[in-house]
């Protein structure tokens, strides 16, 4: 044995992990032939745990602190090896360090739209995304269930599994809540807390704890959002007649100040604006009467109101039949849809029920 080998044998080995990656959950200590000296020092820092694995069997788990690897503090490994009265020679064992800190800002999102029946809009598709935070709560179970013999395990290795568990839970919850789409933003916190509660048991099986689930956004298809923007714009405009007068007067005033129409100022602009608005009012056709909308009874619950176009779509999908009860303003009471003459076009492409055999 050379001089260097002699001194190396005299020194006590120190086993530790300094994590600089910020995304590793598990790291296996790399040492020659998996041999650990008797009396070696195992340094486990805060937010870490160390697990000894001998010949494929899970042995001792160490919390944060400095531990001397000897018979008295390796009860499981000593029993596996049959060390009843201590040992002197090096022993073979794999040392896995598990990061137990909270890993935040993990992303989740729906791969495909979720279809809902909204009481105001009708059938609609939504997408959602957010983030969640996790930590390893049981290092031994986590190694056994997910890591296996890998030398390291990162957050990316587990993200897909966790996302695939969160999204179905969200779809179930959002469907059962029956909250109108326009009111979903006011319930993001409630949805996140409910998802966390529902999936906690699933993650316990892997030794993982979900500490937080956040819903950041629930979005509608672009064309539906565009229609909602138009609806909001109409509400902001308010009185269309006054808005038209103001627009015309503002444009004429701007032309007068820029020299486009000499002598035209605010007073003249307002007068001309009133004349133009009156002319528009006199020549414009009367307003189109509002479309009749109907309420539909579904499972003893009132839904709607829906216009004829939506009712036609519901009938084609089998969601509305001639026997479905409907009601609109002016009707004496709930009536079967097939008996309302104004809804005749709704069932034009739907065959009538077969006669009894």
Q: Which distant-in-sequence residues (6+ apart) come within 8 Å of 307 by Cβ?
A: 291, 292, 293, 294
The residue with tokens 């029946």 is 117
* Strand-pair category, 41-44 with 14-15: parallel
- What is the distance between the alpha carbons of residues 164 and 60, in angstroms, rounded to a whole number? 32
For Cα atoms 203, 185, 130, give the angle at the middle one, nearest 5 degrees.
35
The model's pLDDT over 51-103, given as tens digits with 9 standing for 90+, comes to 988 777 778 888 999 988 876 666 666 665 655 555 565 677 888 999 999 99
Residues 6+ away with beta carbon under 8 Å from 216? 129, 130, 131, 188
Cα distance between residue 312 and residue 252, in whole Å: 47
Strand, helix or coil for residue 52 = strand
The DSSP bridge pattern shows strands 208-219 and 294-298 to be unpaired
Residue appearing with tokens 């070696």: 40
59 touches 45 (CB < 8 A): no
Closest C-alpha to 90, from 120, 54, 134: 54
Tokens of 76: 């499981």
| CA-wise closest residue to 307 among 322, 290, 319 | 290
Can you tell me the distance from the alpha carbon of 281 to that of 283, in angstroms, rounded to the nearest whole number? 6
Measure the CA angle with vertex 246, ends 244 and 252; round to 5°: 105
CATH topology classification for 103-221 = Tetrahydropterin Synthase; Chain A (3.30.479)
Q: Hey, what CATH class is 294-347 in?
A: alpha beta
Torsion 222-224-230-233 (CA) sign: negative
- Please enumerate in sequence order all residues whose Cβ is within 8 A of that of 197, keeping only pairs 6 or more positions apart, or say none: none
Give the side-chain half-sphere CA count within 13 A for 244.
12
Q: Token digits for 188?
A: 């993001």
pLDDT score for 147: 82
d(CA 62, CA 74): 9
* 290-309 CB burial, b ≥16 within 10 A, e <16: eeeebbbeeeeeebbbbeee
Which residues, listed in sequence order, are joined to residue 133 by a DSSP beta bridge? Answer: 212
Report the DSSP beta bridge partners of residue 213.
Answer: 132
Q: Which portions of the chain are predicted below pLDDT 70?
A: 1-12, 32-34, 71-90, 231, 233-286, 288-289, 352-353, 357
Candidates 176, 174, 191, 194; CA nearest to 126 is 174
pTM: 0.55
Backbone conformation region of residue 86, classed left if phi is above 0, alpha if psi is from -120 to 50, else beta: left
- pLDDT at position 280: 52
Q: Do the Cβ atoms of 153 and 238 come closer than 8 Å?
A: no
In this prediction, residue 122 carries a pLDDT of: 82
Q: CA 214, CA 191: separation in Å to the nearest integer? A: 8
What are 266-279's pLDDT values in tens digits? 455 555 556 555 65
Give the phi and the psi of residue 325 in degrees, each rounded to 5. -80, 130
The residues with which 123 forms a beta bridge, in sequence order, are: 117
- For residue 168, the tally of other CB atoms under 10 A from its CB is 12
């Amino acid at each position: 044995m050379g001089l260097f080998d002699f001194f190396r044998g005299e020194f006590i080995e120190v086993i530790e992990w300094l994590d600089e990656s910020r995304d590793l959950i598990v790291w296996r200590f790399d040492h020659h032939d998996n041999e650990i000296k008797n009396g070696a020092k195992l340094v486990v820092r805060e937010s870490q745990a160390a697990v000894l694995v001998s010949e494929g069997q899970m042995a001792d788990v160490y919390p944060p602190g400095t531990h001397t690897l000897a018979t008295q503090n390796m009860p499981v490994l000593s029993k596996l090896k049959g060390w009843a009265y201590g040992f002197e020679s090096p022993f073979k064992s794999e040392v896995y360090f598990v990061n137990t800190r909270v890993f935040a800002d993990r992303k989740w999102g729906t791969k495909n739209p979720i279809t809902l029946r909204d009481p105001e809009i009708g059938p609609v598709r939504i997408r959602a995304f957010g983030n969640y935070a996790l930590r390893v709560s049981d290092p031994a179970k986590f190694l056994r269930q997910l890591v296996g013999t890998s030398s390291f395990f990162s957050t990316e290795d587990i993200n897909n599994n966790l996302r695939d568990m969160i999204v179905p839970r969200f779809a179930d919850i959002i469907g059962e809540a029956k909250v109108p789409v326009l009111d979903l933003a006011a319930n993001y916190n409630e949805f996140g807390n409910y998802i966390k509660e529902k999936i906690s048991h699933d993650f316990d099986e892997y030794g993982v704890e979900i500490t937080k689930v956040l819903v950041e956004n629930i979005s509608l298809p672009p064309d539906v959002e565009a229609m909602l923007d138009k609806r909001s714009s109409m509400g902001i405009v308010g009185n269309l007649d006054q808005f038209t007068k103001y627009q015309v007067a503002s444009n004429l005033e701007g032309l007068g100040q820029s020299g486009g129409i000499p002598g035209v100022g605010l007073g003249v602009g307002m007068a001309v604006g009133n004349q133009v608005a009156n002319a528009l009012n006199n020549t414009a056709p009367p307003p189109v009467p509002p479309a009749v909308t109907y309420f539909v009874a579904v499972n003893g619950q009132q839904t709607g109101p829906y216009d004829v176009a939506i009712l036609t779509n519901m009938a084609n999908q089998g969601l509305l039949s001639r026997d479905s009860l409907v009601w609109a303003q002016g009707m004496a009471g709930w009536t079967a849809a097939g008996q309302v003459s104004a809804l005749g076009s709704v069932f034009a492409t739907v065959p009538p029920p077969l006669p009894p055999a």
